Amino acid sequence: MDSILVKGGGELNGEIPIAGAKNACLTLMPATLLSEEPLTLTNAPRLSDIKTMTALLQSLGAEVTSLQGGKVLAMSSHDINNHKADYEIVRKMRASILVLGPMLARDGHAEVSLPGGCAIGARPVDLHLKGLEAMGAELDLRDGYVHAKATGGLKGGVVDFPFVSVGATENILMAATLAKGTTVINNAAREPEIVDLAECLIRMGAAISGHGTSTITVEGKDRLNGATHPVVTDRIELGTYMLVPAITGGSIELIGGRMSLVTAFAEKLAETGVEIEETQRGLRVSRKNGRVSAVDVKTEPFPGFPTDLQAQMMALLCTANGTSVLEETIFENRFMHAPELIRMGAQIDVQGGLAKVTGVERLKGAPVMATDLRASVSLILAGLAAEGETQVNRVYHLDRGYERVEEKLAACSASITRINGQ
């Protein structure tokens, strides 16, 4: 397994291009199943999760061609000849559940392996299933699979989510585009990835309104057409790299970054004393001198502070002046980076969903273990600011969500190398 070696110390300066959003691309790709005509995505990120979704769609009979080194994905679902999403692929990536709604809407039947738990919590899919049932689907859970049927097709209905789920909103939104009649999704997720999906579906001929608010209305159509759609900028990659100059000092321009994608996060970052300005090409983040100040952070669904930036923000706050409290409200087990940061000299006290972080003047390099995608990059951030060498092991998590991380950081004069394992 590969690991990454970081030598911390100096300020970082330069520019970093921000890729298309992994989480948007993972829901835009299954949208190909809704049409017999081609769907082409531009600005796709080059990540292992995208390869996993490619393999899943191909296993169903879709054609997926990666062009321009992976930046363009040309897909066609003319011949879907298999309606079973196999455990061997689904277990690798929870987002695989997103093929369920589209397959069921298109052909009236689908079998998808249950994704099971993952490191950051139980993460059930009950909301996805209840939503499809509200649209007339008959579901049977057996042998670890969801067996779904909608004889005569899905019907529009009212889907009331008891709490916000990004994935469930996406699954129901896609399914509703081909259902008979009108679907109303209440308590829908408002994330930019949902808006991006809705915009792509509208290009494909779907009738959707209210995306970006808590109530989305969809008028079902008999068929959708092909389209070409650019994947929205990755706000989590953007936020992660905004933290680089914050933790090391220096100034970095994030090319393609937009404030509206990271408003709540940027407000918190600014509260720590970091400067953020909008430029013609994106955002510039600078920390000129001194330590950042402690701030309290609570994760919430969009437009709140994203859970996917909590680990990285914690890395910064480990070096802040004062004590910060981080509250994680989305996932029950998302402080696994804390013990690793403690190995680097951080002072963190975790009690349930709260982490109290007392900043230290300097972190110290150490061998650490990445436990999930966002945790792994938080350790790299910490390593960039630490004295000495940090070896981050198990970085396969990182490759799921960050393209060319070493190259992007090395271009800002970070000392970072990948050690190829077996």
Residues at the site binding ligand UD1, with contacts judged by CB under 6 A: 23, 26, 94-95, 121, 123-128, 165-168, 307-308, 330-331
Supply 273's token pair. Answer: 């004393």
Contacts of 162 (CB under 8 A, 6+ apart): 127, 187
DSSP 12-53: EEEEEE--B-HHHHHHHTGGGGGBSS-EEEES----HHHHHH
DSSP state of 167: H
Is residue 118 flagged as an active site residue?
yes
Q: Could you give the CA distance from residue 92 to residue 323 in angstroms, rounded to a whole number?
A: 37
Q: CB–CB of 266/259 below 8 Å?
A: yes
Amino acid at residue number 24: A
Q: Could you give the CA distance from residue 34 to residue 54 in angstroms, rounded to a whole number?
A: 16
Q: Could you give the CA distance from residue 213 to residue 211 in angstroms, rounded to a whole number?
A: 5
Q: CB–CB of 320/272 below 8 Å?
A: yes
HSE-CB at 131 with a 13 A cutoff on CA atoms is: 34
Residue ranges of alpha helices (H) inside 291-349 are 310-317, 337-343
Amino acid at residue number 225: N
To ligand UD1, the closest distance from the beta carbon of 125 in angstroms equals 4
What is the total residue count of the chain? 422
147: exposed, middle or buried (Cβ count in 10 Å: 0-12, 13-18, 19+): middle
Contacts of 351 (CB under 8 A, 6+ apart): none
Q: Could you give the CA distance from residue 143 to residue 280 in angstroms, rounded to a whole number?
A: 54
Query: In the complex with ligand UD1, which residue's Cβ is closer, 310 or 319?
Result: 310
Cis before 192 (ω within 30): no
Planar angle of CA 318, 322, 325, nearest 5 degrees: 65
To ligand UD1, the closest distance from the beta carbon of 124 in angstroms equals 4
Query: In the complex with ligand UD1, which residue's Cβ is closer, 168 or 179?
Result: 168
Cis before 124 (ω within 30): no
Q: Which of 25, 118, 200, 412 is catalytic?
A: 118
Query: In the complex with ligand UD1, which residue's Cβ is closer, 120 or 252?
Result: 120
Q: Could you give the CA distance from residue 349 to residue 292 in angstroms, rounded to a whole number?
A: 20
Could you give the residue numbers annotated as active site?
118
